[in-house]
Each structure stands twice: as structure tokens, then as C-alpha cells.
Amino acid sequence: MKLATNPYQFSNPVYREVEFIDRQFAITRLIQAIQAHRSVQLAGQYRIGKSSLLRYMNEHFTEYVDNNQTISIYFDLSRRPPLRSGNDFFARLLQLMSNALVQHGQQEAALSTGLDLSDPFIFEDFLDRWVEREGFRFIFLLDEFGVIARSQKFDLDFFDNLRSTIPTLNYILGTPHSLADYAHEQVVTSPLWNKLQLIQLTLFERRESIHKLIRNPIEQFGLSWPNKAEEFIYERGGQFPCYIQMAASALFDSQEDWRMDYRRAEKVFRDTATQHFRHLWTNSLYDQYRPGREEMLRGALLDLVHRRTIDDDLAEDLESRSLVWRNEVTGMWEPFSAWFADWLRRWSTDSRAKVETESSNLREKTNEEPVTPLPKPSRFKKGHILDGVYRVEETLSVTKNSYLIKAFDERLHRTVALKFPRLEHETQDEIQRLRENLLREARILASFDHNNIGSIYQVILDPLGIVMAWIEGTPLEKALESEERMLPNDVVEIGVDLAEALNYVHEQDKVHRDIKPSNIIQHDIRGAVLIDFGIARATMLDTITRLDDGSSGYVGTTDYSAPEQFLKPEGVGPPTDLFALGVVLYQLLTGKFPYYAGNLPSLYGGCFPPVEPFDIPASLYEILCSLLQQEPNRRPTAAELHEQLEICLRQLNAGHI
């Protein structure tokens, strides 16, 4: 059964009542304003549903207004031909009023073609007499009024004239933002804005409304979505009605005989949504009257998706733009959908320096202490000799924590990797502590000899850093930048290598504590190689808390950290590494983190297990769930995991699962 008609509309406004959901509060406020003879500006983000609401109000107007002498007129101001002047605008209104009267069984109204519409007194007098004579009240629902508000062709006199027509005429003006903030600078002082009640149209607030929007359109076919399909739609559309419909439409078009093709649906959705999300990122943060605000909002949104932190004032501004919402369960701010957050992460990964710069600007402008990206030291320039031995070939990366350098060992004639912590703001006591930590870790890790573990050669003290084996390969974080997900077979092979490496480490009574894609290199021959042992514990100052009693606090990277790393850092052990590995494998399969709200149970509300990734074997999903258990003692050991993954890999290669 291939259904012929896709009932999900996202490229055009919805008309049918069955598809018009969750706007009753806005409708009530609009009706109250109309009954009180007030005019309204209906503000809301691109694609949030303004056009749908205005058209719905026009279609169902008589159901709400018990007065057959009141006429509603919908007009889309973005339609061609465009209005070129105030005269054009008012002439079009008069023509629409005349047409509406004819539709109501009245004779065609006599319009004065020679009327000087630019004179507010003449036009206002004519309008009052004409409306009084006809005996009707007119409500104009003007969609895309931003076209007028932003056009220099419509000056202050035009807006004063428009104001003078109220309340003879009433208006509901659809705009992207409040007109006081959005109109061009020559008319921002217009007294018209004082006559307009602002009603903001934002994201869906209730999960039951989202369920209705997903379910109602297909109930006409006697169908219902599988739970997995609903989760697919919600993860992509989130709280935003247009993107809920877009995801549902993609899945509907991809099914055959009501069998879901999630991979195809993902591609269809991605191809369409990416263009929309770029538009949101480019155009939805506009703020012409607060210099620097747009930049601050961009930095805040990127901080939210990368660090899950955001200033409440900026979050509320982003909420008014329908880009974020406050999760009622966790109380945390979140982007409107998990897929939008992932898109922002992928988009910004290629320019992480920009993220750091914008976040620094944000902190500076909110009177917090900035973390200023400093230029790399001159000693790291190409050709410079470090420690009398290592000739710098290339600076691979500069982060707020460290420098990573590719160098050539002139003495032993081999390529090495050098990692140096950034110490620009550290005290001498902190630097001395780092030296001691590095020396201690290097002595331990230099004894490691395993195919899937990167070797540490030595510690150098000026500048303070670690010399590591150079591994020719691709960091797994690069694989995550691709829109194409890895095949289950490839992911399981990586898991086998890393489980074997961790088993070796744990048998030495050591813990990595910072398993993440950037610390894993995919080598053509050796397979997955784990690097940076001890680097997190020794040098990532922003992840170290030295408590008053001398014990260590949180160490790790939040997206990959197990709950115990937040709650009981002193209890971190081998299961902590297994949890992080579970996050990495889940991310390689899906491109997403398993718990969008974070790995703390208090944040994800005890929701377990994570959403099942689409199109992966059930046995592999069970392994992932075992790794992501909240309680450390419920996770497998590295040896157990290695055995489970080897069995899974054999089954995959044989085509048995």
C-alpha cells in the first residue's frame, strides 16, 4: 500500500482544522483584541506558523465573532506585484474591501478613483463615511507585513496614515519580530506601534500538541506511526511545528507499504532542513538597534550546544525567536530540537576557533572574565628547534587548553607529536604541580606496550610538554564531521580494538578518564589507537578541581563523562572508561549523543535506555545500553565487552544479524 497523498504540509500554510493544533491561546488573545477593537502585531519566527494562523483565523472567523457585519480579509503582502507606495497600499485595501462586500451580497462599492490617498485627512474622512455607509466592520489580516516595515518606500507619513485608519479599520499584522525592533530606522519612532498589541507566536510548549501534529494527519487513513517513527520525527522537529511536519513528510514519502525506510527519510529531511537551518542561523538573530547583540546571541547559542551553558537573559531572547525552549522536566535550556543542535555542532566544528572567539566575546560583554585566545608562541613556528632535538614541522591545533605540534626528532630521525598545555594564566605553583603530574604519568605510561595504545616517549620541561609517538591516521572526530554515518561493522571493529586496549590498561590498574573521538586515531594497519593517556588528568586545567583536602575533583570531557565523574570523582574507575566508550560508539553510529540533556541522571530525568539508533542490530543496541548504564557496577568489564563485540562482529560479517 503506497499512500498517494502526503498529508503533511510544511512548505505552505495549513488550512484544515485537523492539522491546526496548539494555538488556542493565541487565537483567544486575537479574538479578545478584535472584540475590543484593537489592532495586533502577530510576531514570530520564520516558519513558526504565522501564515497558518492568519489563514485559519480568516477561514474560521465567523465561528469566533458573533456578528455577520464583521468581515475579515486576508492579504499576503509578499505576493506579486509588489506594492510600491503608500498610495498603492491604501488603494489595494479599498479594492479588497469592495470585493469583500460583493462576496457578502452587497453591490460593488463605488470607489473614488481620483481620491488623493496620500492626504491623511481626506482619506480618513472618506474611509469613515464609506465604512459607515456600508455598515460593515473590516478586519485586515496582513501577512508578511515585514515587507512593508523594512521597505524605505514606506516612510513615516505612511505609518502615520495607517495609524489614523484605526479603529475604523482593524489590523492583524504578521511580522518576524516586534515592529518597534524590526521596522527600518526612519519609521521606528512611529506612534503606530503604540496602537498595536504584541502577540508572540513561539514554539509548541506541550508534548501532547506535538503528538497531535504527528498523529492527526494520518488518522484519516486509519494508520498510526510506530513508536520508533514518532521518536524519529520528534528528534528532528522538536518543538517547532514546521520541522515536525517536515520530518513527518520525509518519513511518509520514504515508507513503502507502511514499512519505514529511516535512512532514506533521514537523507530527505537533511537535504531540506539544512537550507532552512542556514536561514535561521543567518537571519533570525537580527537586532538593528542593539549593536553587538546579534554576535552575542550567536555565541550564546553555540555555547548552549557545545557546553550546555547559557545566560538566562540571552536564552529568553533566543526563546522569543523560537530557537530554544526551557525543558519543563529538567529546567534546562535546549535548542528547539536535538537535530538542530547536532546541525549546529557539525556546522561549527569546522570553525571551532570561531566558537571560542564568539564565546569569548559573549563572556566579555556579559561582564564575565574572558578567556582570550592567545597567539601561539614564536618557538612553535615552523623550523624552530625545541629542547635541542625536536624541529617543528606544523602546528596541528591550538585550543584554549593546549598546543598540538607535529615535529621531527633530529636525534632519532622519527616524526613525533608534541603536546603543550597552555600556561599563560597559571601561577608558578600550578605550573610546578603540572610538571610533577606529567613526570609521574609519563613514567607509568612509558611502560605501556600495546598495538592500540599510542606511546609516550618523554616529558620536556621547557616548554613543559609531552613527546608522543606520531600515528599516521585520522582522528575519529573527523569521521563525525561527515554527514554519512559509519556502518555497524566498522563501528564494532573500532569497539573491539578499543576494548582490547582498555582491558590492557585496566589490568595495569590505570584509568584513561578522557575517552573521546579526538583521542582516538584510526590507523590503516593498527586499527583504532587510543592516545593522550594521562593528558586530561595532568594538563587540562579547566577540567581539574583540586579540593581543599588535596583530593582530585572532576576530570574529563562532559559529553563523554559517566555520571560518577560528576557526582563522585574520587570513585572513578574502569567502568568510567566503558561508559565513555559507549558514548563514542553510539555517536559513531548515529552522529548524536545518547542523552541530549547530558549524562547526569538529574539532567536526563532517569530516562533509560537512550533512544534506539535507527537501522542497527538489536544485539549491538543491547551492548550499547549495557555500557551506558547509570550504575558503574552494571557495566561490562573491558574483557567482557571485547568478547561481546567479537561475537557481534562475526555475526555481522556473516550476515546473521
CA distance 310 to 318: 10
Nearest Cα to Cα of residue 514 among 577, 565, 607, 430: 577
Q: Which CATH number belongs to the domain containing residue 382 in this structure? A: 3.30.200.20
Q: Which three cell numbers stand for residue 564?
A: 560518577
* Domain shared by 227 and 312, yes or no: no
Classify 386 as helix, strand or coil. strand
Q: How high is the pLDDT of residue 553?
A: 46
Task: Identify the domain boundary among 169, 186, 201.
Answer: 201
Q: Which CATH number belongs to the domain containing residue 55 in this structure? A: 3.40.50.300
* Domain shared by 340 and 409, yes or no: no
Q: How high is the pLDDT of residue 426?
A: 67
Q: Are 37 and 167 in contact (CB under 8 A)?
A: yes
Q: How high is the pLDDT of residue 588?
A: 92
* Domain shared by 587 and 648, yes or no: yes
* Domain shared by 351 and 421, yes or no: no
Query: Is the residue at 346 inside a domain?
Result: yes
- Indicate the angle between helix axes 638-654 and 574-590, nearest 10 degrees: 30
Classify 454 as helix, strand or coil. coil
| pLDDT (tens digit per residue) in 224-245 | 999 889 989 998 999 999 999 9
Q: Which CATH number belongs to the domain containing residue 480 in this structure? A: 1.10.510.10
Query: Is the residue at 140 inside a domain?
Result: yes
Task: Identify the domain boundary among 176, 201, 226.
Answer: 201
Task: Tell me which residues of the chain have a pLDDT lower than 70.
Answer: 1-4, 13-19, 66-67, 80, 106-123, 134, 186, 288-289, 291, 348-379, 399-401, 424-426, 438, 440-445, 533-557, 568-571, 595-615, 656-657
Q: Report the chain's terminal Cα–Cα distance, integer Å.
A: 27
* Domain shared by 163 and 75, yes or no: yes
Q: How high is the pLDDT of residue 98?
A: 82
CA distance 341 to 301: 9
Q: Which CATH number belongs to the domain containing residue 330 in this structure? A: 1.10.10
CA distance 607 to 287: 38
Task: Identify the domain boundary among 181, 201, 221.
Answer: 201
Q: How high is the pLDDT of residue 152?
A: 82
Query: Is the residue at 582 inside a domain?
Result: yes
* Domain shared by 151 and 300, yes or no: no
* Domain shared by 446 and 520, yes or no: no
Q: How high is the pLDDT of residue 534?
A: 52
The number of distinct structural domains making up the chain is 5
H or E element: which one contains 535? helix 535-539
* Domain shared by 530 and 428, yes or no: no
Query: Is the residue at 54 inside a domain?
Result: yes
CA distance 454 to 118: 78
* Domain shared by 46 and 183, yes or no: yes
The residue range of the domain holding 108 is: 23-201
Q: How high is the pLDDT of residue 289?
A: 67
Q: How high is the pLDDT of residue 62?
A: 79
Query: Is the residue at 13 inside a domain?
Result: no
CA distance 178 to 42: 8
Query: Is the residue at 303 inside a domain?
Result: yes
Q: Are 147 and 82 in contact (CB under 8 A)?
A: yes
Query: Is the residue at 4 inside a domain?
Result: no
Torsions phi, psi for 408 (to 5 deg): -115, 125
Query: Is the residue at 5 inside a domain?
Result: no
* Domain shared by 143 and 228, yes or no: no
* Domain shared by 556 and 418, yes or no: no
* Domain shared by 528 and 632, yes or no: yes
